[in-house]
């Protein structure tokens, strides 16, 4: 078989003057045809050039013919053996494969994202979550420590107050028993019919009554005060500050500086107000003095006028 190159002859709209040549369609196009050629989806991406730039070699067709088809009708045509053409084509394919292998990195990228990148993403997420959980647990431990401290203090105070309350209750019960016993003795003495016996018994009852101590009046239990929430929260914040070096002290300092600044501005405003009031008072005094001087001069002028009329 042989490879033949021949000049094509195409005719679309019968126009004599051509404008461009399309390499994909292998046609000359006039200006009107080219405008439609650029609009169709199938041809708008074709490569075109000015018709004057197209040489004879571009117009040659490449055909594959068997040896029997090569006749005298193809005399003058350029003919190449198919083996040579195929050898060149095979070399082109090999070069293309080599370029693809040299530039092909998709498999490496896929492997990278499947292994390295995915593993790194997982590790980063795990580390972040671990740190968040550790800090959260530290905060929880701090809060629980402060809670336990406050509850322990409350429990200790409750135990002391309860102990004192029971002690006072025991004293009251003892006093109650003594007074109740004395009361019962007095009631029995009143039932005594013999005067001498009654007199002696009431003397003894009076002595026992004198020996009785005053009824103890216990103090009210102190009880537990309401939780001071600000102190409770500040205790937690201070512990967090000491552990993580938070900017609490810095913020407190800034707040203090701002407070001092506001205080100074208030003092300046107060001083300015006093100065304005003093200035207003001085202006009033000056105005009053001027009015008095004006009145005095007016009186003097009137006196002079009266003296002249006389």
Model pLDDT, residue 148: 92
Each residue of 155-210: pLDDT tens digit?
888 888 888 888 888 888 888 888 888 888 888 888 888 888 888 888 888 888 87
- The token pair at 219 is 């103090």
What does the alpha-carbon distance between residue 265 and residue 272 come to, in Å, rounded to a whole number?
10
**Which of 141, 2, 12, 152 has its CA nearest to residue 65?**
2
Averaged pLDDT of the chain: 77
Q: At what angle do helices 229-244 and 118-190 cross, to 10 degrees?
A: 140
Cα–Cα distance for residue pair 31/37, rounded to 1 Å: 10
Instruction: Specify whether the CB–CB gap between 16 and 37 falls below 8 A.
Output: no
CB atoms within 10 A of CB 80: 13
Longest Cα pair distance anywhere in the chain, in angstroms?
181
Alpha helices in the chain (DSSP H): 31-37, 56-59, 82-103, 106-112, 118-190, 195-211, 229-244, 248-309
Q: What is the pLDDT of residue 298?
A: 80
The pTM of the full predicted model, rounded to 2 decimals, is: 0.38
Q: Report the percent of the chain where pLDDT is more than 70.
A: 79
Contacts of residue 265, defined as CB under 8 A and 6 or more positions apart, other chains included, come to none
Q: How far is CA 287 from CA 221, 280, 284, 300, in A?
A: 71, 10, 5, 20
Strand-pair partners of 78? 5
Residue 179: count other Cβ atoms within 10 Å of its Cβ: 13
Question: For 198-215, what is each residue's pLDDT tens digit?
Answer: 888 888 888 888 777 777
Tens digits of residue pLDDT in 50-102: 877 776 555 554 545 555 555 544 555 556 677 777 777 788 788 877 776 76
């Amino acid at each position: 078989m042989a490879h033949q190159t021949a000049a094509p002859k195409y005719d679309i709209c019968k126009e004599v003057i051509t404008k461009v040549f399309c390499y994909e369609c292998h046609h000359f196009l006039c200006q009107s045809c080219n405008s439609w050629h650029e609009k169709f989806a199938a041809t708008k991406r074709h490569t075109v050039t000015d018709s004057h730039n197209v040489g004879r070699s571009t117009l040659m067709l490449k055909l594959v013919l068997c040896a029997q088809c090569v006749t005298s009708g193809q005399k003058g045509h350029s003919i190449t053996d198919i083996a040579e053409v195929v050898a060149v084509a095979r070399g082109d394919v090999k070069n293309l494969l080599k370029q693809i292998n040299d530039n092909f990195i998709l498999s490496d990228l896929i492997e990278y994202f499947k292994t390295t990148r995915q593993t790194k993403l997982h590790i980063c997420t795990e580390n972040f979550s671990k740190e968040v959980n550790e800090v959260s647990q530290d905060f929880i431990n701090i809060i629980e420590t402060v809670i336990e401290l406050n509850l322990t203090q409350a429990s200790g105070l409750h135990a002391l107050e309860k102990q004192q309350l029971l002690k006072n209750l025991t004293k009251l019960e003892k006093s109650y028993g003594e007074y109740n016993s004395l009361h019962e003795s007095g009631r029995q003495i009143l039932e005594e019919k013999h005067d001498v016996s009654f007199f002696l018994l009431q003397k003894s009852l009076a002595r026992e009554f004198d020996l009785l101590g005053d009824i103890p009046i216990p103090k009210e239990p102190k009880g537990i005060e309401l939780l001071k929430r600000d102190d409770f929260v500040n205790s937690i914040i201070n512990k967090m500050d000491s552990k993580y070096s938070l900017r609490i002290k810095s913020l407190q300092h800034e707040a203090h500086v701002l407070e001092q600044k506001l205080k100074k501005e208030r003092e300046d405003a107060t001083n300015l107000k006093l100065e304005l009031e003093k200035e207003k008072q001085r202006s009033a005094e000056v105005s009053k003095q001027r009015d008095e001087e004006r009145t005095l001069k007016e009186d003097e002028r009137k006196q002079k006028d009266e003296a002249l009329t006389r």
